[in-house]
Amino acid sequence: MIVFACPGQGSQTPGFLTPWLELDGVADDLAAYSDAAEVDLIQHGTVSDADTIRDTRIAQPLIVAASLIAGKALRDQVGRDPDGIAGHSVGELAALVGAGVVSAVEAMRLVGIRGRAMADAAAATPTGMSAVVGGDEEAVLALLAELGLTPANYNGGGQIVAAGALPALAALADAPVRGSRVIPLQVAGAFHTAYMAPAVEALRAAVADVAPADPRIPLWTNKDGSVLTDGATALANLVSQVSSPVRWDLCMASFAEHGITGLVELTPAGALTGLAKRGLRGVPAVAVKGPEDLAAAVALLQNGEVA
């Protein structure tokens, strides 16, 4: 079982879409996606600087569009879907497209709304996120509770992302749990917490008229790591997940239970393959950072091993 993994916010880098524009049809797809998301994806994916593409309004559509481009390129080359798909945070929108639940243009419309709504919610109160790597998990969770922080992402592999007020995050960094290290993340707010409640309502209104199809391949949810068979449930989870923790640890555990034999992380890649090295030991993984990585991903899809 080869699973596609669609990354979340924070994985984008300046100019990362530039090489993809050399592939046939990508410029046209990005133009359509830009119209749907109300974001100039070609501009921001090629020449905008790191500070610009850190803006949630821009970052989220960029990330989803990149995963859609890479996923389409891989399916075109191997002539089939992967055996399953999942997305981390905003990557769930790309995963829904890959599973046939919504169209690519519909997903880009929704991610544009999601990004704007989450940016507005983040602007209301200064908040942030920090990754806590290592340390005893119970001790980490106890310290977060003591500081009034929320475990927003359970990423597996010994990583939990804390979210909340900036002074509390500073206190966490100053006195972390023994054996852990705290890494501030380049995001604009406390995503996947109660701070995002206004964004939940905005996205719920946006999906009201969407008619989702049922997934045609196994689709994992960040809610609890389960496999979804109902498109309406997948869409509802996508909405509520904006203010709920990301359980990527449970997704990886479920991958293992279903017999995963390889993982392909779509563009912009790197973070989820890194987590897989610790949480899915021995499972081959390919990070498709650019078109030059497509050959290795195709080899994994066709032969079950990395070229």
Residues designated as active site: 89, 192
* 284 Cβ neighbours under 8 A, 6+ residues apart: 261, 262, 263, 300, 304, 305, 306
Dihedral sign (CA 89, 95, 85, 300): negative
Give Cα 121 to chain centroid, integer Å: 19
Amino acid at 104: A
Beta-strand pair 150-156/2-6: unpaired
Instruction: With beta carbons less than 8 A apart as the criterion, state whether 225 and 279 touch.
Output: no
Kindly calculate the radius of gyration of the chain based on its CA atoms and give it in whole angstroms. Answer: 18
As a whole number of angstroms, the distance between CA 87 and CA 277 comes to: 17
As a whole number of angstroms, the distance between CA 88 and CA 272 comes to: 8
Q: Of 23, 31, 107, 15, give the one whose Cα is nearest residue 68.
A: 107
